[in-house]
Amino acid sequence: MVKLWRCEICGDPYIGESPPDNCPFCGAHRKYIKEAKEAQVNFNVELSEKDKANAEHALQVEVNNAAFYFCAAKKTDDDEGNLLFKALGKVEAEHASVWKKILKLDRVPQGSDSCHIRNKENLEESHARETRAIEFYKKAAAESENERVRQIFEAFVEVETDHLKLSEERLK
């Protein structure tokens, strides 16, 4: 039977017979996808100064990574790389949208990060970016006293780790 599902991280809905393994929008793992009527989604949270600073930094990380991936999707010299970077760009843009909601901003700022033509260089850059994001998100999750903010950081650690594995597999 087809049901309406909702991701508790990004809040986006999904229609299907069962929850997907990963949110098709933000990449969150299945444990965050619940039937819509049961999903707990809240972006109206009180931010401490530390959480606000970390969320602002996370927003910039995601904006810059999305810009890099969309650039790489257009310029890379590899057809599969084009698809991978396009998909990664969409996920990173969705992450930026989550931070926009948490920070109560009207819009997501534009990124302008450049990329390479050679797919291998883009994969290496992807690996470096994902590694930095994971380390920052782990630190931000540990520092947060807000359960919802910590949940988002922890979910994004998992998603960025998935991205890291994709680049590692292709660099072999």
Report how far residue 78's alpha carbon sits from residue 76's, in angstroms, rounded to the nearest whole number. Answer: 6
The residue among 22, 5, 33 whose CA lies nearest residue 88 is: 22
CATH of 49-171, picked from 3.40.50.2300, 1.10.3720.10, 1.20.1260.10, 2.60.40.1120, is: 1.20.1260.10
Interval 116-170: pLDDT, tens? 999 999 999 999 999 999 999 999 999 999 999 999 999 999 999 999 999 999 9
Nearest 5°: phi and psi at 47?
-105, 130
Q: Judge if pTM exceeds 0.85.
A: yes
Interval 48-86: pLDDT, tens? 999 999 999 999 999 999 999 999 999 999 999 999 999
